[in-house]
Chain A
Amino acid sequence: MVFFAIIIGCLLGAIIGMNAPTISYTYSSYLAIAIIAALDSVFGGIASVINKKFDIKIFISGFFGNAILAILLTILGEKLNVDIYLAAIVVFVWRMFMNLGTIRRYYVEKWTNQVKKTHKQKPEPKEEIDSTEEKNI
């Protein structure tokens, strides 16, 4: 049900976004940074679901709070003539990759466990590589 809701939301958003008027160029940089912040929150949310620490209140506040904070920082940076948005992008993208790593590790682990179950007699060398990789990261 949650999955369907996400897909319906994405489709609705795409349709509305395609038919909505374009915003002025001055504000497009703010929207861009807000999108990056929101994407970061989404990946963070998925990662927290996997870690079983998901809290809808924290998720919503992070989604909107991060976006607004990023926009405000960008405006402040423009006033001070410092490109703060670059720092915001670095942080958000870095966190995105961290969360993506968590998600990836979870699914790789799940998959290797399944493989282990089906081939109990002859363990494959692949799974050893996976487990060592895990420790390295």
Chain B
Amino acid sequence: MANKKVISIVLCIMCMALTMGIFIQMKTVKKYSTAEGQNYDQNNLRAEVLKYREKYENTLKEIEKIDDELEKNIEEATNQNSDLEDAKNQIQQGNKLIGTTEVTGPGAIIKLADSEIESSKVLDPSLLVVHDIDIFYIINELKNAGAEAISVNEQRIVSTTAIECGGNIITVNGEKIGSPFTIKAIGLPENLVNLDRTGGYLEKMREAGLTAEFKKSNNVTIPKYSGIINYKYAKSIN
């Protein structure tokens, strides 16, 4: 009888381990595979890409950790010294200006998307997609309306940002982004809302059949610029 008890406990634990493994595996596969690949090569390539993405994310996390550590060290070093406190505040202010810190505040969210009309039905299908120029123009108008921080699909617009056309995608900060586009801006919402004026650019885009929504928001969070701003040639004149 005692032997049977031991056997049943062992079997219970083993079944638990097995089903746990199966469910975890199922969840993992579901999380990572969006569409089932057709052949072996495609699957291998996808696995490779996923592995690299994972490495990339891990490295990003490490960078974040190091940034936190740096901040903590700065905090510790400036705790007593009032001179250093000023320097710290200056650094923070500078970081905010160049866009290397996450910022939040009132502002607006603009959503742009390609037209839903089928491209075979029109003469020029190029008119049905959102172009880099459109985004460029809207960012310019946002800046004109006093926006303090702008991001396109979570890519922060900083002084070195380039927006280029890359075929059916657009490159911002070297990162590929595609339709639908979400442009977030922090600024006085009453000023930013002028983008949605009659005869404005957004209305022109809507007339062309594209989706262009404007929404005021009291709480917009704009991510920090994750790249490196490195000035090699520009020297400051003292």
- On A, residues with C-beta under 8 Å from B are 1-2, 4-6, 8-10, 12-14, 16-18, 20, 22-26, 28-29, 31-32, 34-35, 38-39, 42, 56, 60, 63
Contact = CB atoms under 8 A, between A and B. Distances in A.
B231 interface: no
Interface residues of B, number: 32
Nearest to B46: A25
A10 B15 contact: yes
A64 B32 CA distance: 27
B137 to A, nearest CB: 40
Nearest to A32: B25
17 contacts: A2-B7, A6-B8, A9-B12, A9-B19, A10-B16, A13-B15, A14-B19, A17-B23, A17-B27, A18-B27, A20-B23, A22-B31, A25-B51, A26-B51, A26-B54, A28-B29, A31-B28
B208 interface: no
Interface in B14-35: 14-29, 31-32
Given A25-B28, A35-B22, A1 B4 contact: yes
B87 interface: no
B10 interface: yes
B63 interface: no
B50 to A, nearest CB: 5
B17 A13 contact: yes
A28 B21 CA distance: 10
A10 B26 CA distance: 15
Contact of B11 (A9, A17, A18): A9
Contacts of B24: 17, 20, 22-23, 31
Interface string B163-186: 000000000000000000000000
Contacts of B15: 5-6, 9-10, 13
Given A4-B8, A5-B8, A9-B16, 19 more contacts: A6-B11, A9-B12, A9-B14, A9-B19, A10-B18, A12-B19, A13-B20, A16-B20, A17-B26, A20-B20, A22-B31, A23-B24, A24-B54, A25-B28, A25-B50, A25-B54, A28-B25, A31-B24, A38-B14
